[in-house]
Amino acid sequence: MARIMPFHGYLPQPSLADAIASVPYDTVTVDEARSLAAGNELSFLHVVKPEIDFPNDSSVTPELISRRASDNLKRLIGSGMLVQRLKPCFFIYQQVMGEHVQYGLAAGASTAEYRDGKIKRHELTLRAKEDMIMRHMSAMCSDAGPVLLIYPQSDAIDALVKEQIAHDPELDFTSKDKVRHTVWQIDDAGAVRRLMELFEAIPALYIADGHHRASAASRIAEKRIAESTTHVGDEDYNFFLAVMIPDNQLRILDYNRAVKDLNGLAPDEFLGKLEEHFTIAVLGAKDCEAARPRGKGEFALLLDGVWRRLTIKPERVPDHPVDSLDCALLQKLVLSPILGIENPREDPRVDFIGGIRGLKELVRRCEKDCRAAFALYPTTPQQLFQVADAGELMPPKSTWFEPKQRSGLIVRTFH
């Protein structure tokens, strides 16, 4: 079962939604966030990335940064820029990016189910990053942005969502990146109860993005439980803000690799080593989109301005949920043994390029500072399910999700 809870959410004033809603804090650097929020005191980046309020050379403490986040959130609430709903609600959050449309249900997800493994993960978390987020959330008594969860598609849930979006939305705007964001409020007690019942039939939820936020929220809950003498389990601190999307609507883009050198190999030597594992077809210097991998086990290699299609030999693919992933195969068969890139998390010779930038970015990087680039076929939601169900971890930079949920569009607090 999946336990979800409605909450007294805060939404921006409709006329201010575009000004307040921000990109997630972990998708931009401090300098990029400072540039995005320049001249906009309402930007939620002042809450989720409050470092932008201090000069770069400042020796400000982490505690002061967290207090600034809390003060900035209180300012938005106190001035009426964010308005709290009187009833406990769920929210439907629709995003339209080009031809892609996805609906997510914003709800409180259970920290107890996270700890029990009913909310499944596929990524390692770093304790230092958890500590930072935990300190931030504790100071604000609010989430640091939604965790993106996915679940196996349900016709009954889809039907209820379709019924609810027949009403007028609370928010509707198009951001500068041309993504349309629309939010509907579900405060009818019958609809709220029905959604809770429907999710009880969902066997598990899966974290797509936001592993550190989920873990930090769980640690806060554990701390509050240990300190409480009246804990019953339905307090706000037992839940974290999540946007839950059915697997058939989740959009996962490719996460590509560019390498700085060929590890001392001449191009012909490099290609000869690749032939041990792949069949290779020369595509030429035509439109790079024509080189885009068409399915699992197919890669596109850009070398010396020429695209080649690499198709892995079937006997090289193991029967294992992680080792059979294309990103894992590339690492095991090419990056490590041929190019000497043993630790892709730390090796400066490899860069990871999100698919939102397109294959033209691989061309640009190869013309600028890289020797070769690999385009991959995107990981699928079903592969993510298989890895998480097996209790395994995905390799670094396996998935790139688009569109990104905006922070500050739906805000949840706890006390």
Whole-number Å distance between alpha carbons of 2 and 53: 39
Whole-number Å distance between alpha carbons of 98 and 152: 24
Q: Which residues pair with 180 in a beta bridge?
A: 96, 174
Q: What is the pLDDT of residue 288?
A: 82
Q: Which residues pair with 259 in a beta bridge?
A: 350, 372
Longest dimension (CA), the chain: 70
Q: What is the pLDDT of residue 310?
A: 97
**Beta strands 147-151; 239-246: pairing state:** parallel
Q: What is the pLDDT of residue 356?
A: 87
Residues 6+ apart with CB under 8 A from 311: 278, 279, 280, 281, 297, 298, 299
Per-residue pLDDT tens digits of the chain, which is 415 residues long: 799 999 999 999 999 999 999 999 888 889 999 999 999 999 999 999 999 999 886 778 989 999 999 999 999 999 999 999 999 999 999 999 999 999 999 999 999 999 999 999 998 888 999 999 999 999 999 998 999 999 999 999 999 999 999 999 999 999 999 999 999 999 999 999 999 999 999 999 999 999 999 999 999 999 999 998 898 888 999 999 999 999 999 999 999 999 999 999 999 999 999 999 999 999 977 778 889 999 999 999 999 999 999 999 999 999 999 999 999 999 999 999 999 999 998 899 999 998 888 899 999 999 999 999 999 999 999 999 999 999 999 988 899 899 999 999 999 999 7
Q: Are 313 and 346 in contact (CB under 8 A)?
A: no
Q: Are 210 and 120 in contact (CB under 8 A)?
A: no
Q: What DSSP line would sit under 109-170, residue for residue?
A: EEHHHHHHTSEE--S---HHHHHHHHHHHHHHTB-SS-EEEEE---HHHHHHHHHHTTSPPS
Burial of 96 (0-12, 13-18, 19+ CB in 10 A): middle
User: What is the DSSP code (8-state) at residue 404?
Assistant: P
| Exposure letters 48-57 (e unless 16+ CB within 10 A, then b) | bbbbbbeeee
Q: What is the pLDDT of residue 233?
A: 84
Residues 6+ apart with CB under 8 A from 10: 77, 82, 83, 84, 85, 410, 411, 412, 413
Q: Retrieve residue 378's tokens.
A: 């995107």
CA angle 61, 62, 64 (to 5 degrees): 65
Q: Are 236 and 300 in contact (CB under 8 A)?
A: no
Cis peptide, bond prior to residue 88, ω within 30 of zero: no
User: What is the DSSP code (8-state) at residue 78?
Assistant: H
Q: What is the pLDDT of residue 229?
A: 87
Q: At what angle do helices 211-227 and 127-140 cross, to 10 degrees?
A: 60
Report the Cα–Cα distance between both ends of the chain, in Å, rounded.
26
Question: What are the structural domain ranges in the chain?
Answer: 4-246, 255-377
| pLDDT tens digits along 353-390 | 988 888 999 999 999 999 999 999 999 999 999 999 99
Residues 6+ apart with CB under 8 A from 87: 6, 8, 187
Tokens 């995905």 belong to: 394
Q: What is the pLDDT of residue 248?
A: 96
Q: What is the pLDDT of residue 375?
A: 97
Q: Which residues pair with 224 in a beta bridge?
A: none
Whole-number Å distance between alpha carbons of 277 and 329: 10
Name the architecture of domain 255-377: 2-Layer Sandwich (3.30)
The pair phi, psi for residue 322, each rounded to 5°, is -95, -50
Q: Residue 370: what residue type?
A: C
| pLDDT tens digits along 60-94 | 898 999 999 999 999 999 999 999 999 999 999 99
pTM passes above 0.85: yes
Q: Residue 180: what residue type?
A: R
